């Protein structure tokens, strides 16, 4: 499927793969006979929770930062994030030996703030509003000349995230194609990069976006797809999947519109249950956002969709694992064992 009108091409993804290869982990593909039996299909989990920094975000940040000319990079980079993108930018900047200015909203998860600081990020705290974040970034850029590295709505970031799919397809080989790949979504950078790569190489493979509805029924990607247009005034989902609360951008929306085949929405209870299942069956620490893909494949919505239910070889992206372990007891309190 041609992608000349989209944010990047598969050749951009392949170039990104070569550029970031010395700096990122070649993450494993995990399987579970128990989960295959429970869900009556073969599941393949791309374990980005095991990536350096604890999430897929390092790929896009590294591609963006290492694509900068030397003179530009030496002025540093800046971003605003309360979580995994901040960690990734700090790590990628440290690998290139440049300053990472990280604007963090007050009240951000303590475990992620600590990880940003440990990665060498220079933190600036701001009001917990988009206006506060953008104003702080603008002030740093004006003072230092630092380059903004957006979390998802950027060509190099999208291409970097697409390396997940490029690597996944190389690991599985063209002789053992997937019928579907399931990607957690919010701003759409990861889903866009994966969709561009998958549709270029395995055009018959379904690309499925998995999205939390939140307690306030705010699954905006599903609503945008249903409307056939980018809706910009929808509320942020009230969800435990704190990494999936962004909004589609002007670069990511066209990819989602054109290349994503289905959007499956999941509830808070489904996320918690799938999170526990990943811990029990795959022995991998995932944050709530990282469990949303399995929640989608396990959901009644998936089972009731004939096209999805026919997919017998399904890839699932475990996108992140930065969770406060002290919260696990509360998260799993109302779940059941996947061994029952």
Model pLDDT for residues 189-205, shown as the tens digit of each residue: 999 999 999 999 999 99
Tens digit of pLDDT for each residue in 265-304?
A: 999 999 999 999 999 999 999 999 999 999 999 999 999 9
pLDDT of the residue at 203? 98
Distance CA 226, CA 207 (A): 16
pLDDT category, 3, cuts 50, 70, 90? Answer: very low
Q: Do domains 10-56+154-332 and 58-148 have the same CATH topology?
A: yes
Question: For the chain, what is the mean pLDDT?
Answer: 95
Domain parsing of the chain, residue ranges: 10-56+154-332, 58-148
Determine what percent of the chain is predicted with pLDDT higher than 70: 99
Q: 10-56+154-332 has which CATH code? A: 3.40.50.1100
pLDDT of the residue at 1? 43
Q: Which residues of 315-327 are buried (b: 16+ CB within 10 A; e: fewer)?
A: bbbbbbbbbeeee
Smallest Cα–Cα separation from 112: which of 153, 150, 81, 148? Answer: 81
Tens digit of pLDDT for each residue in 21-62?
A: 999 999 999 999 999 999 999 999 999 999 999 999 999 999
Average pLDDT estimate for 84-106: 95
Compare 314 and 323 and report the one with higher pLDDT.
314
pLDDT of the residue at 111? 82
* Catalytic positions: 57, 82
pLDDT category, 2, cuts 50, 70, 90? Answer: very low
Compare 242 and 165 and report the one with higher pLDDT.
165
Smallest Cα–Cα separation from 6: which of 258, 288, 337? Answer: 258
pLDDT category, 257, cuts 50, 70, 90? Answer: very high
pLDDT of the residue at 288? 97
The fold of the 58-148 domain, in CATH, is Rossmann fold (3.40.50)
């Amino acid at each position: 499927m041609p992608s000349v009108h989209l944010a990047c091409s598969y050749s951009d993804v392949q170039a990104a793969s070569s550029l970031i290869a010395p700096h990122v982990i070649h993450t494993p593909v995990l399987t579970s006979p128990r989960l295959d039996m429970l869900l009556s299909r073969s599941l393949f989990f791309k374990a980005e929770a095991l990536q350096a920094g604890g999430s897929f975000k390092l790929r896009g940040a590294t591609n963006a930062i290492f694509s900068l000319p030397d003179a530009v990079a030496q002025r540093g980079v800046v971003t605003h994030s309360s979580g995994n993108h901040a960690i990734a930018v700090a790590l990628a900047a440290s690998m290139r030996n440049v300053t990472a200015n990280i604007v963090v909203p007050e009240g951000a998860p303590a475990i992620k703030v600590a990880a940003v600081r440990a990665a060498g990020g220079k933190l600036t705290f701001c009001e917990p509003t988009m206006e506060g974040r953008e104003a702080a970034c603008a002030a740093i850029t004006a003072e230092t000349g630092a380059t903004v590295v957006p979390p998802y709505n950027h060509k190099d970031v999208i291409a970097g995230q697409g390396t997940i799919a490029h690597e996944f397809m190389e690991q599985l080989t063209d002789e053992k194609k997937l019928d579907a790949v399931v990607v957690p979504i919010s701003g759409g950078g990861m889903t866009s990069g994966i969709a561009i790569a998958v549709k270029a190489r395995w055009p018959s493979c379904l690309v499925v976006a998995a999205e939390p509805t939140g307690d306030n029924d705010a699954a905006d990607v599903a609503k945008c797809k249903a409307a056939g247009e980018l809706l910009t005034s929808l509320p942020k989902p009230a969800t435990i999947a704190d990494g999936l609360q962004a909004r589609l951008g002007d670069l990511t929306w066209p990819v989602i519109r054109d290349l994503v085949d289905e959007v499956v929405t999941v509830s808070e209870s489904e996320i918690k249950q799938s999170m526990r299942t990943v811990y029990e069956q795959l022995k991998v620490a995932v944050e709530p956002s990282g469990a949303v893909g399995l929640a989608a494949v396990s959901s009644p919505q998936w089972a009731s969709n004939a096209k999805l239910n026919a997919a017998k070889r399904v890839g699932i992206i475990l996108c992140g694992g930065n969770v406060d372990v002290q919260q696990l007891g509360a998260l799993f309190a109302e779940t059941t064992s996947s061994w029952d």
